Chains A and B, each alone.
Chain A
Amino acid sequence: MEFLELLKGNQPVLLDGGMGTMLQAKGLPVGATPELVALEHPDWLREIHTAYLDAGSQIIYANTFGANREKLAHCGKTVAEIVPAAVSIAKEAAHGRGLVALDVGPIGQLLEPTGVLGFEQAVDIFRELIAAGAEAGADLIAIETMTDLQEARAALLAAKETCSLPVLVTMTYEATGRTFLGCSPACAALTLEGMGADAIGVNCSLGPREMPPLVEELLQWTNLPIVLKPNAGLPHPDGSGYDITPEEFASSLASLADMGVKVFGGCCGTTPEYIKLLHQHLSQKQVKEVPRHVPAAVCSGTQVVPIDRVRVIGERINPTGKKLMKEALKKGDIDYMLNQALEQMEAGADILDVNVGLPEIDEAAMMVRTVKALQGITDAPLQLDSTDPEVLSGALRIYCGKAIVNSVNGEDSTMDAILPLVKKYGAAVVGLTLDQNGIPKSAQARFDVASHILERALSYGIRKEDVYIDCLTLTVSAEQAGAAQTLVALRRVKEELGLKTVLGVSNISFGLPARPLVNQNFLTMAMSAGLDLPIINPNVDAMMAAVRCYHLLTNVDEDARDFIAAYGNATVSTSITSAGTSSAASTGSTKSLGDIVVSGLKGEAGEATRLLLETTDPMDIIDQILIPALDKVGADFEQNKVFLPQLIQSAGAAQAAFEVIRQRLSQTEGESASRGVVVLATVKGDIHDIGKNIVKVLLENYGFQVVDLGKDVDPNAVVEAVKQYNAPLVGLSALMTTTLKSMAETISMLHEAGLPCKIMVGGAVLTPDYAKQIEADFYAKDAKESVDIAKTIIG
């Protein structure tokens, strides 16, 4: 019987037990490569598989857990040698008595952002293994023991793109109910079901006793059959086995059929004896049918946001009408976007909209870069905002979790280009109630477009719960009757179609005075009409206040906890404030800006600069106050009068001052002036970039435009950036002896490309001699010296 057939009906399905445990019992030394057994002791595998089949296993896992090219690299054998051998042995043993799963375990290196391995690299590594397994005749793919949801996604995607075999995915959790990397069963369920897994669950982890809470969570968030393949409890400290007996394992695990668990097996420490008893217990069991309803929700790799109340989508990562953001995009300044994200999270956003569309940049590449960087610092789910299918495809591929795609509209050609992507990557989608004829005026016509979008989405296999409708806000100063139509349409979409609704709110007040008042009241009216997902600026407290009040007054905010937490100690204002700049409460200070920078008082620098700007030219402030102050701190640092922490504090204070000046310049002049471009990178393979980031801040202080390529940077990317920005100076950093060769390689590629730039290098393990040897132009012993070098080269 095929795997998908087995998954139907009420009969439990039985997998096998531990492989490593059995191999060690056969004599495999600890630390040896278990996959080599397929070539060296095929008889061992035959015996183990047969023992499990005799015990009642309907599906056995081929001995391919670590048979990926990265893990095999050190043993001299290839995927092409190991995988067909292992699968053939399992198939021979099964001999019609059972199915054979290709076992796919973790690569053994962590993916970005915690590790260095790229997502596409991971997909490619899995693709090779899965192609070999499918070719050798495996009946299904079993992805297991995953702790990183992104790695599980890479494997699942590779399976889906390589073969048509069914896929089972299990992850391993700790007693906290999370994986090492913070993924919960809920995040795994939403994401993996969305991407087309056929069964999901838990393996390894703990023992059967710890399974019930994990099962409960899974039941809440997936409609798929649930798989459990736990360990035989905890290992004895002396290595003599595990603490749960076969009988206890079998009885407690089999009892979970009553919770609705469908597929059973054992992991570390379990043997054919465990499986035989499990088989006996399960033979008296039927899998209980548990009614399930997975609610509308989105998630990141670590956090689920159910759309069970008003959830705020932060709108700030979007260049429309934002000069500084446009400049940041053109410069590739990712930190700007990250700060926008952190600020909005702090202010109370639940989800972040990400739009990096600007005609003069490569939107697709920038979107991928931004999404990757955001995932490294925030748990918030993202709303990927673009109308370009190519941009969305790249972003959805790299996004770890269940995203929102913003947006499609009622035009069939748009939906046919984007909805397949939404389905493939398991996202939710925003449908705008407009089509080729523009925005309909009447609520009825918008409702009709919404119905059409829903129908189309369903035809692509997208769940109804994953379709969110935007009934479109029109500017009330231009079309005063429009607001009511929007609200009527919204209410009908919510009540009659039963869909979640989304709305960009701020547009309502364009062209009017006292915009925050209009926005706040329209938001309140929209929430009363059934709005679930307002897209707003959460830094405007009036807007967050409206949401908090709505939750308070509709009895969603139990005991007014959130409301009191937010306003218990506050005086409420409706003015526009930015959450990140509230710390400059130091009026009355008599310190000069120069002293403030020398003392490193970041909180006072912005306000002092604002005051000075009333009387002093911005360039004079830079040249006559900020630079001399930084020079003094730099000189003191060289003479060991101050130390790195003080140097960085001064740099931070100067940075805050420059931020104010930049804002002023961007209002009055065109582009802000820069002394010249410096490209910075931590070299390929190296992920220690704190030193490079300190250099960056100091260089920016002195007015250099820094193009920061980040860490683990490919030599080619450095060459391309130098060309693109015509940079006269490159700074490279490496902190490990093993990555110095990447530094040498990058330098030689820069030389080969014949670029006229100078190269400075720095980092813990570098010496002036070594710098010379790899043909760098300068060795910078610390961040201060890198500024001196930049001054010499660029002026």
Chain B
Amino acid sequence: MMELQLNHLNQDEVLRYMGCPPEQADEATRAMVAQCEQELLKVIQPRWANRVFDITQEEDGVRLSCGLLLPGADLKQHLTGCSRVVLLCATLSAQADRLIRQAESGDMFRALALDCCATAAVEQICDQIEQHIQGEFPGCYFPFRFSPGYGDLPITLQGQLLQLLDAPRKIGLCASASHILTPRKSVTAFLGVAEQPIAQTIRSCLSCPAHNSCQYRKSGGHCGIS
């Protein structure tokens, strides 16, 4: 299993998650992000797990070779041209949650910065995992990774996906009764594998971890990244 190494965070990305265009961030905000980056990287213990499945396209969605149907039109569309999918999960571990909780009782500015640093951290970890997985499928093509909650892929799948990965035992990642991943700073995702070139490789709002809570989107705009 590849060891995850995270030595720095993409601070501009952290600022965007905080609702602040990087070019307009003041010095105090940048300093806080830099401080929180260090604090967070010290406590997290990133872990991950993955598993490869053959897939078949069905009328109602995509079926994994283990029998589980992933319902909805969006993932099905997204995996067009893919014959396999890698299911992966990753977590920063409970220590990240604890650090954020500590900050929340006294200093919301620091809490917001830590929370957004953690979101950026788990994304960067997923990027590393994705890169590693891509290396194991030479000559193949990959659409961007797709998580429950994107489009019409329901988050009610979380528990079953974690079971398929034996994630509660292997990395301590569980889903709550309302299908929230705990520890909180965690991700499950599908990475399609295609033998031929495909179109869906570009990152968009749909694949952004902030897409639900994004202040730019709420006001009808865009953060400018693509």
A residues lining the B interface (CB < 8 Å): 29-31, 70, 74, 106, 108-110, 113-117, 145, 147, 172, 179-182, 204, 237, 334-335, 338-339, 342, 376-378, 600-602, 643-646, 648-649, 651-652, 685-691, 693-694, 697, 735-739, 742, 764-765, 781-782
Contact = CB atoms under 8 A, between A and B. Distances in A.
Given A74-B160, A109-B176, A339-B106, 13 more contacts: A109-B174, A114-B183, A116-B176, A116-B182, A179-B172, A376-B98, A643-B19, A643-B20, A645-B29, A652-B107, A686-B178, A690-B111, A697-B108
Given A30-B66, A690-B111, A113 B101 contact: yes
7 contacts: A29-B66, A109-B174, A117-B177, A602-B107, A643-B21, A694-B108, A781-B218
B66 A145 contact: no
A781 B217 CA distance: 12
Nearest to B164: A31
A31 B66 contact: yes
B168 interface: yes
Interface string B17-55: 011110011101100100000000000000100000000
Nearest to A734: B178
A106 B172 CA distance: 11
A648 B114 CA distance: 14
Residue in B18, B113, B163 with the greatest tally of chain A CB atoms within 10 Å? B163
Contacts of A644: 18-20, 112, 215
A738 B26 contact: no
B112 A180 contact: no
| The 3 nearest A-B residue pairs measured at CB | A180-B172, A685-B178, A764-B213
Residue in B105, B156, B183 with the greatest tally of chain A CB atoms within 10 Å? B105
Contacts of A145: 169
Nearest to B162: A108
Given A697-B108, A764-B212, A643 B172 contact: no
Nearest to B172: A180
Contact of A687 (B19, B109, B149, B180): B180
A690 B111 CA distance: 8
B150 to A, nearest CB: 12
A30 B174 CA distance: 18
A342 B105 contact: yes
Contacts of A147: 172
B54 to A, nearest CB: 14
B95 interface: yes
A116 B109 CA distance: 25
Interface in B71-121: 93-95, 97-98, 100-102, 104-109, 111-113, 115
A690 B112 contact: yes
B80 to A, nearest CB: 25
Contact of A114 (B94, B105, B160): B94
Contacts of B183: 110, 114
Interface of B: 1, 15, 18-21, 24-26, 28-29, 32, 47, 66-68, 93-95, 97-98, 100-102, 104-109, 111-113, 115, 149, 155-156, 159-160, 163-164, 168-169, 171-172, 174-180, 182-184, 212-213, 215, 218
A189 B108 CA distance: 37
Contacts of A110: 94, 174, 176, 182-183
Contact of B180 (A30, A70, A685): A685
Contact of A643 (B24, B95, B102, B171): B24
A645 B109 contact: yes
Contacts of A646: 20, 26, 29
A645 B111 contact: no
Nearest to A33: B163
Contacts of B66: 29-31
A146 B80 CA distance: 41
B104 A693 contact: yes
Nearest to A147: B172
Contacts of B100: 690
A114 B169 CA distance: 16
A242 to B, nearest CB: 14
